[in-house]
Structure formats: C-alpha cells, structure tokens
C-alpha cells in the first residue's frame, strides 16, 4: 500500500457500506415482487421505494462529506464515482419494481427471475466487498465474480428479448415487459461499473 503521512477520514467507508447494504434489501424486495399478487406487489414496491430513498440519503451524505473533508481515503473523483454508481444500482432496481406495478403486469417470463437472482448475488457480493475498501484486501475475487455474473445477465437478457419478440402477440405487453427487462439489465451493468471502479481504486492504491 502507498504510504500516507496524513490521517484519512474513515467515515466514507461506513457511508458507502451503508449504501451497499441497502442494495441487498432492495434486491430482496424485488425478488419478492416477482412472486406476489398485484396488491402485495404494490406494497412491496412502496417498501422498495423507501429503501431507494434511504440509499439516496446515504449517497447525499457521502457528497456532503466530500465537500467538508480535506484529506479523503482515495481520490475524490473515485469516491464520487463509487457513490454515484451505488446509487445507479439502487435506482435501476427501484425502476424495475415500479414498472411492474405501474404497468399492471401479470405473469413475468421465467428469465426475469434469473435476472433478479443475478442482481441479488451482485448485491450480496457488493455489500461484502465495499467495507473491505478500507484495507483493499481480497477484492480481486469480487470484481472477477461480478464480471462473470454480468456476462450471465447479458445472456439471459438477450434470450429474454428473443423470446419476447418471437412469442409476443400483444405489442403493448411486449413494450411493458421490455421496459422491466431493460431496467434489470441496466442494474446488472451498474453493478459491473461499480466493480470496475473498485478494481481501478485497488490498482491505483496498490
């Protein structure tokens, strides 16, 4: 590790870890939405939105802290990017849950459950990895696995689109389902961007 003669504000690690924890909760609620009836889905989507608000507040705290702190754990731009990308992960999952309710979607293709399962695993890995930014120990396995999961998500996404366009008979249903599928794919992409950002920090700080 690079020698730093000045103490660093460690509160960033706690704030980022809090946000990462919200991702696990959000992904779990998203999985529950898939198997719920419409009334229950609305309740779960509301809870998911509350989690998204809590994640937003954690992100805002990071930004405020950046403006108040002279010496940061690593480059300010890197911290800003981490906080923003964590927020993107949460926003995309919240969007998917919201669209399922707003569009009054009934049964969802089986592949959607596969997408959400990937997001749940990404969230768990992220919540485990972010606290370790303070030491940067053992993070390589994290970003390698996230990259593998994102590739898996891409394959599921392409298969879902092909099935949707091949089998869809109602154009409006196709449009609605594609909106949900796209939001879930965007979330997987955000998790990969986050892992890439953590890899960049680890390489710069080593």
Q: What is the pTM of this model?
A: 0.92
User: Model confidence over 85-94: pLDDT tens digits?
Assistant: 999 999 999 9
CATH: 3.20.20.60, 3.40.50.300, 1.10.15.40, 1.20.58.220. Which one for 11-205?
1.20.58.220
Asked whether residue 121 carries a pLDDT value surpassing 60, the answer given is yes
Q: Which residues contact 38 (CB under 8 A, 6 or more apart)?
A: 101, 104, 106
Write the DSSP string, 139-194.
Answer: -HHHHHHHHHHHHHHHHHHHHHHHHHHHH---HHHHHHHHHHHHHHHHHHHHHHHH
Domain boundaries, the chain: 11-205
How many Cα atoms sit within 13 Å of 107 on the Cβ side? Answer: 2
The whole-angstrom separation of Cα 138 and Cα 129 is: 8
pLDDT of 74? 82
Q: Could you tell me which of 61, 28, 30, 65 has the C-alpha nearest to residue 45? A: 30
Neighbouring CB atoms inside 10 A of 159's CB total 13
User: Model confidence over 172-196: pLDDT tens digits?
Assistant: 999 999 999 999 999 999 999 999 9
Q: Which residues contact 104 (CB under 8 A, 6 or more apart)?
A: 38
Residue of higher predicted confidence among 6 and 48: 48
Confidence of residue 7 (pLDDT cuts 50, 70, 90): very low
């Amino acid at each position: 590790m690079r020698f730093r003669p000045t103490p660093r504000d460690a509160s960033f690690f706690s704030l980022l870890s809090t946000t990462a924890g919200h991702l696990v909760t959000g992904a779990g609620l998203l999985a529950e939405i898939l198997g719920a009836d419409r009334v229950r889905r609305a309740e779960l989507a509301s809870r998911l939105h509350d989690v998204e608000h809590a994640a937003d507040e954690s992100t805002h705290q990071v930004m405020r802290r950046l403006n108040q702190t002279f010496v940061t754990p690593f480059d300010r731009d890197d911290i800003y990017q981490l906080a923003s990308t964590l927020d993107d992960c949460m926003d995309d999952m919240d969007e998917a849950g919201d669209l399922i309710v707003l569009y009054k979607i009934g049964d969802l293709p089986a592949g959607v459950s596969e997408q959400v399962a990937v997001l749940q695993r990404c969230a768990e890995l992220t919540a485990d990895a972010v606290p370790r930014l303070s030491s940067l120990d053992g993070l390589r396995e994290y970003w390698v696995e996230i990259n593998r999961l994102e590739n898996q998500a891409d394959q599921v996404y392409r298969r879902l689109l092909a099935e949707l366009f091949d089998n869809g008979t109602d154009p409006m249903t196709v449009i609605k389902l594609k909106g949900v599928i796209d939001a879930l794919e965007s979330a997987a992409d955000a998790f990969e961007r986050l892992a890439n950002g953590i890899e960049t920090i680890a390489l710069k700080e080593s």
